[in-house]
Amino acid sequence: MTKGRTELGDITPHNIKQLKRLNQVVFPVTYNDKFYKDVLEVGELAKLAYYNDIVIGAVCCRIDTSENVRRLYIMTLGCLAPYRRLGIGTVMLEHVLNICEKDGNIDNVFLHVQVNNEGAIKFYEKFGFKIVEEKKNYYKRIEPADAYVLQKSFKEGSTDERKTASETSSEDTTDKIMS
């Protein structure tokens, strides 16, 4: 496939069903209605990725604040298999990292990745993410059930990275209803 035009677009009530369908195909877990309702509220933190005007990917994030630590959690970032390795994931992740940079008040960005997803782990490591924790039995109905917490920190001397990444993890599982 030749290099095409990649653009990010807003997620709206008119195209939320495209996001749902995309997530069903790309991810091994099912997201509940609250996930999609919340996505409509986060503005720039949720985007559809278009390749030559076709929806082929999406990124959905949220800000978590607790104990005076402000973190950005990447809930989902993915693209359809035939469109991988075309720089689309990079466009989506750079969008997220630019939001963090412009905000200037985000301590770190983190996400969960299934432990056997070597492609995703290598992708995030290229952008300075590090594995800071392994969550046993994070996923309910898929194998392997374990997840790594990958994190990229922005502020020097912020609180213990392992602690900050895992504080939100327990509530994250409530966002997912595993298939």
How many CB atoms sit inside 10 A of residue 32's CB?
12
Structure-block tokens of residue 128: 């300075």
Spatial CA neighbour of 76 closest among 51, 47, 53: 47
What is the distance between the alpha carbons of residues 79 and 76, in angstroms, rounded to a whole number?
A: 10
SS3 at position 138: coil
Catalytic residue flag (residue 73): yes
Q: Give yes or no for a cis peptide into 144 (omega within 30° of 0).
A: yes
Asked if 96 and 74 count as a contact pair (C-beta separation under 8 A), the reply is yes
Q: DSSP letter at 58? A: E
Q: Which of 31, 36, 83, 112 is catalytic?
A: 112
Q: Is 14 a catalytic residue?
A: no
What is the spatial distance between Cα 109 and Cα 67, in angstroms, rounded to a whole number? 16
Catalytic option among 51, 73, 124, 138:
73
Q: Phi and psi at residue 74, in whole multiples of 5°?
A: -85, 105
Supply the residues annotated as catalytic: 73, 112
